[in-house]
Structure 1
Amino acid sequence: MKQTLNLLLLLFTTMAFSQTENFSKEEIAVSTLIKGDLYTPKNGKSQKSLIILLAGSGPTNRNGNQIGMQNNSLKYLAEELTNGGYSVFTFDKRIIAQIIAGTVNESEARFDDLISDATSVADYFKKTNQYNKFIFAGHSEGSLVGMIAAQQTKADAYISLAGAGRSIDEVLVEQLEKQIPSLKEKTIAYLNLLKKGETFKNDTPVLNSLFRESVQPYMISWLKYNPQQEIKKVNCPTLIINGDKDLQVTPKDARLLNEAQQKSTLVIIKDMNHVFKTVTGDEKENMETYSKPEVKNNPELSETILKFLNNRL
């Protein structure tokens, strides 16, 4: 989880028509904190269905990018799904607007804010009366946000893209154990305090990025959600996707979600990594794709989503 807050360089457009693609793109301000791009197919039987894409952790923008990590993962996915006949809305996480306005207060951030923003987007577009079906598709951290938003808004479909199948404390312990095994017990102790709703003074500097006092309230709000329990409450067609080259969220997590929601469809995409790129080489090549915005997504990703939606909606 990237903690450093950097000012992102964003390209905001008004109405832009692609010269090579069969869609239009318009910037929409849902609120002062939520701005994004609405992709609309010029033709398509499903253009009245809206897919709401939810970004992963950190200060991530509508295209799936952060400073130092430009890969256009969400931009390419939005374009491909719109070319398949669906309207798509991708939006900057609220922290982007806060960074630009200079109003970031990390101690006030809560995981529930992300859920509220997702449901606000659905409510905004429902009021336009342009769409009759709504789909949440959440990437990584956005997977959990999307499955809760899908419950609250009675969505017509839900898609998990490289979403964790375990609560964040289990994921963090596993990651820390691989990197700094000597701190496993300390990490477990800290997480147990947070799960009780208790804050503490971190006395282990190397763990400050995870457990500094200002981020602890956010962690407490995040820890109360277990993806395996939340996905059981989703009552709409559900697609769970993971890549077998994902270094952050392995197919094991996707299978845990699939087991919890037995009516879901599980697809593991060969050679796809966490940011949807095709990887056939080693871990170094895998990580390099995180910062190669010119590299398109694995084509099987959008093909899988379109096939699922066309068969379910």
Structure 2
Amino acid sequence: MRKIAYSLAMVLLLAACNSESTDKSTAEVQTKQEVVHMEEALLGKWRGMIEIPQSPLEIILNLKELSGSISVPAQGISDFAFESIKYNESDVAITINLGGSLIKIAGKLKNETIEGTFTQNGQSYTITLKAYTETPVTYEKLLIPVAGGELKAALEMPDKGTGELVIIHAGSGPTNKDGNTIGAGSNNSLKMIAENLAEKGIASIRFDKRGIGDNTALIKKEENLTFDLYVEDVKAIVDYAKKDDRFNEIHLLGHSEGALIMTVAAQQNDVASLISIAGIGRPADEVLMEQLSASLPPNLLVESEKALQQLKAGKKVETVSGQLQSLFRPSVQPYMISWLKYDPQHEISNVNVPIIILQGKKDIQVTEKDAENLYAANNHATVHYFDKMNHVLKDVEGDRDQNLASYYNPDLPLTNGLIEEITKFIKQ
């Protein structure tokens, strides 16, 4: 993450951490307001991005005639009241006092879109907002005891449950319980898995990883996050679920990096099976070097290789070029050290429950070779390939651009046959 983006995120995070003593709901705050003449189309909820370089940040504004509030899902900020709001025809001007930091938002309604600027600490960024209606919550909200507090999770229950429960773990980076990467659009892949399984009578628990979305507050500093902490959270969820009489069988499902997390967790917990979707079958440093070789000049590629070797040896990298800070910044190095020590083939070889490996042939991030490696490492495993499935579990037929466009399209259904394959495996 660039320095400028990191400083903004930290301001928001600090405000969220102090919200119990400083926040008041919109209804409790007498917001300063001025209405010269207002287009009624401005009223309501608007969602969009603060276009911070390298790290767009999602915000939601709730505009009312005399008041309003801001939510920042990635920072755990919900309905924080405006200090003032002013309307003038199609223009709106907002000020927010967030933890002592003054924020100004100026926007204009154009063709059902609000376009404008977000200014904080002397830095201004473009914002584009579109009207939206919140999707009704269909799941049961859980609070699960974990190290450092409580993990907020979503239990998707079928009308008539079969006693089977699937715990779902998202992939790498700021990916939430629905399978959406914060700041990079929505595809709702994991949300769709949960809802489709419920239609088959199978319950599921999915959750924002600690440090993300609902569970932002579980990580105060990025350097405190490790791969093993994710594995411990899975164990806490398994222990919690075993105390619920509605469930008699627990399955672990991991997507992308989540597949490796669930592979390690399957060794440490009494579960019925492991479902690995788009999981890498090589050490992470090999995959990273393969990805970086397509985009970095030779000098930075050599630096990256040396950094990965040092991190894999358990040593921090003291000096990192500015162009590589987003990947090797000091605060993320403890996580990388803890992650790079795991070899997916070795880990899956130690799993003693039935395993299914699901892989799409249109995946541009994880290859069929990865699936083959995992399959070859464990006699308990079966493998199934989907001809048109990409990394976000959607069917694509076109070029790379169409493939990537599906990452931001929540209206595309899951790949044909995916839920049926998962269901058949669970019930066999």
The normalised TM-score by structure 2 is 0.66
Helix, strand or coil at the partner of 1:276: coil
User: How far apart are residue 309 of structure 1 and its match?
Assistant: 1.5
- CA distance in structure 1 between the aligned counterparts of 2:238 and 2:325, rounded to whole angstroms: 36
Equivalent residue of 1:68, what SS?
coil
More strand by share: 2
Query: Corresponding residue for 2:12?
Result: none
Distance 1:301 1:94 in 2: 28
Cα displacement string for residues 60-117 of structure 1 (whole angstroms, at most 9, x for unaligned residues): 2211112222110001011111111211111111112587549641111111111011
Corresponding residue number in structure 1 for 2:312: 195
Give the count of matched residue pairs.
Answer: 299
TM superposition shift of 1:221: 0.5
- Of 334, 347, 350 in structure 2, the residue corresponding to residue 233 of structure 1 is 350
Aligned residue in 1 for 2:413: 296
Q: Which residue of 1 aligns with 2:371?
A: 254
Cα 1:58–1:4 change in 2 (3 A) is farther
1:1-313 correspondence runs (5 A): 4=55, 6=57, 7-8=72-73, 25-31=139-145, 32-44=149-161, 47-65=162-180, 66-96=182-212, 100-101=216-217, 104-180=220-296, 182=298, 183-311=300-428
Counterparts of 1:36 and 1:239 in 2: how far apart (Å)? Answer: 25
After TM superposition, the structure 1 stretch with the greater mean CA deviation from structure 2, 94-103 or 160-169, is 94-103
Tell me if the contact between 2:160 and 2:201 (Cα under 8 Å) persists in the aligned partners.
Answer: yes
Q: In structure 2, do the counterparts of structure 1 residues 118 and 180 end up closer, same or farther at CA, with 3 Å as the change threshold?
A: same
Q: Say which SS state the counterpart of residue 95 (structure 1) adopts.
A: coil
* Equivalent residue number for residue 37 of structure 2: none
Q: Distance in 1 between matches of 2:342 and 2:150?
A: 24
CA gap of 1:208–1:99, structure 2 versus 1, over 3 A, is farther
- Rounded Cα–Cα distance in structure 1 between residues aligned with 2:276 and 2:410: 23
Whether the 8 Å contact between 1:202 and 1:212 is mirrored in structure 2 is no
RMSD: 2.3
- For 2:310 and 2:213, how far apart are their aligned partners in 1? 32
Instruction: Determine which structure has more spread, i.e. the larger CA radius of gyration.
Output: 2
1:299: how far off?
Answer: 2.7
Displacement over 3 Å in runs of 4+:
3-7, 97-104
Q: Which moved more, 1:47-56 or 1:194-203?
A: 194-203
> Residue 278 of structure 2 aligns to which amino acid in structure 1?
A
Structure with the higher helix share, 1 or 2: 1
State the alpha-carbon separation in 1 of the partners of residues 56 and 268 from structure 2: 30
Note if contact 1:202-1:213 (Cα within 8 Å) is conserved in structure 2.
Answer: no
**For 1:5 and 1:128, how far apart are their aligned partners in 2?**
39
| Structure 1 residues 4 and 234: CA distance shift in structure 2, 3 A | farther
Listed one character per residue, the Cα deviations across residues 130-153 of structure 1 (whole Å, up to 9, x for unaligned) are 311110000001001101111111
Contact in 2 for aligned 1:8/1:67 (Cα 8 Å): no
Query: Does the CA contact (< 8 Å) of 2:219 and 2:225 recur in 1?
Result: no
Structure 1: any 5+ residue segments left out of the alignment? 18-24
Name the CA distance, whole Å, in 1 between partners of 2:285 and 2:297. 15
